């Protein structure tokens, strides 16, 4: 028995075209959905700079000094034996604040902070973060941006 292949050929009609198109759209949507589900199992981690960094010896900071560490967006302040680290990132939308005669000013939306980082004028609702400071065995001081401490928390330099 011979099979006539010409009879099995179908003509591409409008109905067949739309049917194939619908199945194609369904297949693309199904593959896209599976790809999104697969992405769920892959961690979405962004590696950034270390949260701890050394600022050197306490003797590098004279009494009354406010020194900016630009690459870390942190100001180091010293009052006598007390050393503090204040974030320079505005708590409104994350802009970098600039030191001013009254404390810190945000150039983006006008938030103002006093010298301790407390909000004096909005739109920011909370003050600048203070970071914990510790001393390494080498005698250098280390700021930990992962350790947010209450405003006005200083590290006391041991003589």
The answer on 97 and 24 residing in a single domain is no
- Show the domain range for 21: 12-47
User: For the residues 83-104, what does the mean pLDDT come to?
Assistant: 86
Same domain, 108 and 129: yes
Report pLDDT for 153.
85
At 5, the pLDDT band (50, 70, 90 cuts) reads low
In this structure, the answer to whether residues 100 and 152 fall within a common structural domain is yes
pLDDT, tens digit, 9 for 90 and up, residues 23-56? 999 999 999 999 888 887 777 766 666 688 888 8
Reply yes or no on whether the pLDDT at 8 is more than 70. no
Mean pLDDT computed over 81-105: 86
Place 101 in a pLDDT band, splitting at 50, 70 and 90: confident
One domain, residues 90 and 139: yes
89 and 129 assigned to the same domain: yes
Residue 57, helix vs strand vs coil: coil
Q: Is residue 140 part of a domain?
A: yes
Q: What is the CATH number of the domain that holds 87?
A: 2.102.10.10
Enter the pTM of the model: 0.64
**Do 40 and 60 fall into the same domain?**
no
Q: Are residues 34 and 80 in the same domain?
A: no
Q: How many distinct structural domains can be found in the chain?
A: 2
Per residue in 119-139, pLDDT (tens digit) is: 888 788 888 899 999 988 888
Residues 85 and 143 in one domain: yes
Residue 105 phi, psi dihedral angles, 5° rounding: -125, 140
Q: Is residue 2 part of a domain?
A: no
């Amino acid at each position: 028995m011979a099979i006539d292949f010409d009879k099995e050929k179908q003509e591409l009609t409008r109905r067949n075209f739309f049917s194939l198109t619908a199945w194609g759209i369904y297949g693309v949507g199904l593959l896209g959905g599976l790809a999104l589900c697969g992405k769920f199992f892959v961690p979405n981690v962004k590696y950034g700079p270390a949260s701890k960094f050394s600022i050197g010896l306490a003797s590098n900071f004279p009494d009354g000094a406010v020194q900016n560490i630009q690459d870390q967006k942190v100001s180091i302040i010293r009052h006598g034996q007390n050393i503090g680290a204040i974030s320079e990132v505005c708590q409104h939308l994350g802009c970098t604040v600039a030191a001013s005669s009254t404390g810190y000013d945000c150039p983006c939306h006008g938030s103002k902070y006093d010298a301790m980082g407390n909000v004096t004028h909005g739109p920011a609702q909370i003050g600048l973060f203070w970071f914990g400071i510790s001393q390494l065995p080498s005698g250098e001081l280390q700021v930990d941006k992962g350790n947010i401490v209450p405003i006005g928390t200083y590290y006391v330099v041991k003589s």
